[in-house]
Amino acid sequence: MHHELIVFLIVALISVCAFAAEKFEPNYDESKIPPYTLPDPLTLADGKQVTDAETWQKVRRPQILELFKEHVYGRAPGRPDTMRFVVVEEDRHALGDTAIRKQVTIYFTDDDAGPHLDVLIYLPNDAKGPVPVFNTLNFHGNQSIIDDPAVRISRHAAKYERGERVRRWPVPMILSKGYGLVTTHYGDIFPDRADGRADSVQVLFDKPAADEPDAWGSIATWAWGLSRVLDYLETDKDIDAGRVIVMGHSRLGKTALWAGANDQRFAITISNDSGCGGAALSRRAIGETVARINTVFPHWFCTNFKKYNNNENALPVDQHELIALCAPRPVYVASAEGDTWADPRGEFLSAKFATPVYKLFDLEGLPAEHMPDVDKPVAGTIGYHIRTGKHDVTDFDWNAYLDFADKHLRASK
């Protein structure tokens, strides 16, 4: 028996190594995209058509949301009853007397040593009342977004230097436009690795159990964390909780879309270069595919999503319906010309094909039949641009988001 076990392990190891050595060759040729038919967001489960906003909100939207939970992102629990907020620091004269800086810890139980979130907040200190804010997650710790010695080092990102990602986070520009920035290190919620569950907020919950096929993956967990930050923002008198914008880049752009789809308190949802499992249509299978993303990042989605590896046409949903779940709230989708891995055309098409749902609310949706020219944003209730450059967040992106927020949030005040 011992000999048989050793042989089995050797064979298994060889198989794993052979699989890892197999090179993934992405398709970037539009002519090689397999034939597909997108699911219609306006067709009910019984085959009838949705023709009004009320039916969408009460019947069709819950159907589609349920399908995404079951087949793509997994199910998340609600807000813990024991959650509490501690304002660790408040400086109303930060950044050369241009900002209010707050650092808040969100605890989920009475145990301070358990999973918790450290939130960094910058607000303009010359505001005449509560301000709108961007609610975001960051990759390299709160200290990485700005060179500010007062910012606490994120415990799951201690190796990263202060201000090393400042080019992605133009805090002075955001503040000068009258908006605040709220950010949390995503590793506080779920460390981004296949075995990250043990160090994540998921350990606080018995349900959903980790082995259930529709249990929440890390994207759903990060989105859950953004909603818990919003719970705090609703208690902060300096913040207008009715004008909170959820924004994310790359895998955190996927997260922002799922957060905006789930939590209708978010006023605007912004996806920056989110690609497969984010804004890009899965059925196009161009650049990063469902099979590739599930292989390299097995923890991001629920286990059920793996059934659609190289089988995208069997998915009961596609990503245009994810954007549609945000209706009638505004959504902005951004791509980069050099980010072919994220399928910019597939991101544009998702925004385009979500438009019929917005029209149920007598809203414009995306005002473009064809992809706009590079560096030429288009914006109705759905906005889109493809900019010069690669997979990144730039000042061009932020300027577009600030203009979009002004269009929809300033006009309402």
391 is catalytic: yes
pLDDT (mean) for 304-313: 98
Is residue 68 in some structural domain?
yes
pLDDT (mean) for 6-28: 55
Is residue 359 in some structural domain?
yes
pLDDT at 19 over 50: no
Q: What is the CATH number of the domain that holds 207?
A: 3.40.50.1820
Is residue 24 in some structural domain?
no
pLDDT (mean) for 379-390: 98
pLDDT (mean) for 200-208: 96
* Best CA proximity match to 137, nearest among 109, 111, 157: 157
370 is catalytic: no
Of 154, 200, 218, 250, catalytic: 250
Is residue 12 in some structural domain?
no
pLDDT at 48 over 60: yes
pLDDT at 296 over 70: yes
Question: To the nearest whole number, what is the mean pLDDT of the chain?
Answer: 94
Is residue 31 in some structural domain?
no
What is the structure's pLDDT at 355?
98
- Percent of the chain's residues with pLDDT above 70: 94
pLDDT at 342 over 60: yes
What is the structure's pLDDT at 224?
98
Residues 87-116: tens digit of each pLDDT: 999 999 999 999 999 999 999 999 999 999
pLDDT at 142 over 80: yes
pLDDT (mean) for 193-218: 96
Task: Determine the residue type at 277.
Answer: G
Residues 238-284: tens digit of each pLDDT: 999 999 999 999 999 999 999 999 999 999 999 999 999 999 999 99
What is the structure's pLDDT at 22?
57
Residues 387-396: tens digit of each pLDDT: 999 999 999 9
pLDDT (mean) for 383-405: 98
pLDDT at 121 over 90: yes
Is residue 52 in some structural domain?
no
At residue 411 the predicted structure's pLDDT band, cuts being 50, 70 and 90, is low
Is residue 10 in some structural domain?
no
Query: Could you give the number of structural domains in the chain?
Result: 1
What is the structure's pLDDT at 24?
86
Q: Containing domain of residue 172, as a range?
A: 59-410
What is the structure's pLDDT at 23?
77
Q: How far apart are CA 203 and CA 192, in angstroms?
A: 15
Is residue 5 in some structural domain?
no
CB-based contact 340:28 (threshold 8 Å):
yes
Q: What are phi and psi of 252, to 5 degrees?
A: -80, -15
At residue 410 the predicted structure's pLDDT band, cuts being 50, 70 and 90, is confident
